[in-house]
Copies of this chain bind each other. A is one copy, B any other.
Amino acid sequence: MLLAEVDTPALLIDLDAFETNLRLMQESIADFAGQLRPHAKTHKCPTIALAQIAHGAVGVCCQKVSEAEALVDGGVGDVLISNQVVGAKKVARVAAVAQRARLSICVDDPAQVTALEEAMARAGNATLDVLVEIDVGAKRCGVAPGEPAVRLAKLIGEKQHLRFAGLQAYHGSAQHRRSVEERRAAIASAAELAGQTRDLLHAAGIDCPKVTGGGTGTFLFEAGSDVYNELQAGSYVFMDADYAANEWADSGQPPFQHSLFVWTTVMSRTPGVRAVVDAGLKSSSVDSGLPKLADETPAAYVNVSDEHGVIALNGAPDYPLGHKLKLIPGHCDPTVNMHDHFICIRNDRVEAIWPITGRGCAW
């Protein structure tokens, strides 16, 4: 099937660009002694997780137990839930997944540790790797670095079905600070806090096998820190418009390419002024900005509503009614969450369709 025949709106992966990104990532961390565990919340798709693992990743991250279930169901054998899971029903599901895959999870409260131990004891004989999340500047989840983390690690170590596996020190809010120096400074501070906490653990006689974190905006800084030994970058496979808006010069970042597009049709037009396309809020998440046109043109996507995107022509020639074009989404993760499939293309032909089995897995 030709791309031109694919009905819109649809979510496309350009396979050449996607495979380039997989390769560039592995090349860029070739000297890193740790491991890559890309975040699957970007793509929510076991097929892509397995491609990342085939390229050298040790496993993947996800945020929710329902995502972990979708990934393990799809054949992924090693998943970190890089988040807290709260509530008896969900914790029982965590314990069930831990019986059939290598699963690890984060905590930031003693009550989570107790709940996980009880559920794991009830579910079987497996041991669950548990990481303590520390807040290294994101001001979201995590205990304070230092003694609070040591106390929680000790508690985990006392539990029969849990194993203290290390620290999660992800600095989410640093990923989109636009200047390289801001991002570098944020991760230097995060690494210092994580390193101090690791040293306190060692001083208390507690082994800290892992310090995990890093996103597409900063992973080379974590990799160069001598503290982190696992990287969680995920968006690099797609490179959305928001990441592209970061400054990258002299960052060392490889030239990741846009590989994810929303395929859309011009369905109304006001000649000389605007075109209206059929991809709006239900096709591309605008939380991090409007989508961009993939083609080089003075025209721009300037307004969005549920089912419409307004493209101001800005002097560009009129698009014919029915013309199809590619949009680069502002934020890939929640955009992917709106679609059931990736339509994978190469040389303007459909090569594969990959189900997004983690779509809607928010619980």
| Interface residues of A, Cβ cutoff 8 Å to B | 7-10, 41, 63-64, 83-87, 89-90, 108-109, 111-112, 135, 139-142, 172, 265-270, 274, 276, 278-279, 281-283, 285-287, 303-308, 310, 321-322, 331, 333-334, 337-340, 360, 362-363
Min CB distance, A137 to chain B, in Å? 13
Contact (A306, B333) CB under 8 Å given A141-B268, A363-B8: yes
CA distance A270 to B112 in the complex (A): 14
Q: Which residues of B contact A10 (CB under 8 A)?
A: 363
**Between-chain CB contacts (< 8 Å), 12 pairs:** A7-B87, A7-B363, A86-B268, A86-B322, A87-B322, A140-B310, A141-B267, A281-B334, A287-B287, A287-B304, A338-B338, A339-B360
Secondary structure at chain A's binding surface: helix, strand, loop or mixed?
loop
CA distance A149 to B135 in the complex (A): 60
Q: Which residues of B contact A305 (CB under 8 A)?
A: 140, 172
Q: Within the oligomer, what is the number of copies of this chain?
A: 2
- The answer to whether B141 touches A86 (Cβ under 8 A) is no
Partner of A268, one of B7, B84, B285, B310: B84
- The answer to whether A140 touches B362 (Cβ under 8 A) is no
CA distance A335 to B339 in the complex (A): 14
Q: Which residues of B contact A63 (CB under 8 A)?
A: 306-307
- The answer to whether B140 touches A268 (Cβ under 8 A) is yes
- The answer to whether B337 touches A338 (Cβ under 8 A) is yes
CA distance A360 to B333 in the complex (A): 16
Min CB distance, A246 to chain B, in Å? 17
Partner of A7, one of B90, B279, B321, B322: B90
Min CB distance, A352 to chain B, in Å? 20
Contact (A86, B362) CB under 8 Å given A41-B307, A281-B287, A337-B338: no
What 9 A-B pairs come out closest when comparing CB atoms?
Answer: A141-B268, A86-B267, A63-B307, A281-B334, A282-B362, A84-B267, A9-B362, A282-B337, A306-B333
- The answer to whether B321 touches A111 (Cβ under 8 A) is yes
- The answer to whether A267 touches B64 (Cβ under 8 A) is no
Q: Which residues of B contact A287 (CB under 8 A)?
A: 281, 286-287, 304
| Further pairs besides A9-B362, A282-B362, A340-B360: 11, Cβ < 8 Å | A10-B363, A63-B306, A63-B307, A84-B267, A86-B265, A109-B268, A140-B308, A141-B308, A281-B331, A306-B334, A337-B338
Q: Which residues of B contact A360 (CB under 8 A)?
A: 282, 338-340
Closest residue of B by beta carbon distance from A109:
B321
Min CB distance, A95 to chain B, in Å? 16
CA distance A139 to B311 in the complex (A): 11
Min CB distance, A305 to chain B, in Å? 6
- The answer to whether A87 touches B8 (Cβ under 8 A) is yes
CA distance A64 to B306 in the complex (A): 11
- The answer to whether A281 touches B109 (Cβ under 8 A) is no
Contact (A307, B64) CB under 8 Å given A274-B139, A362-B283: yes
Which interface residue of A87, A111, A268, A305 has the most chain B CB atoms within 10 A?
A268
Q: Which residues of B contact A41 (CB under 8 A)?
A: 306-307
Closest residue of B by beta carbon distance from A106:
B268
CA distance A7 to B142 in the complex (A): 23
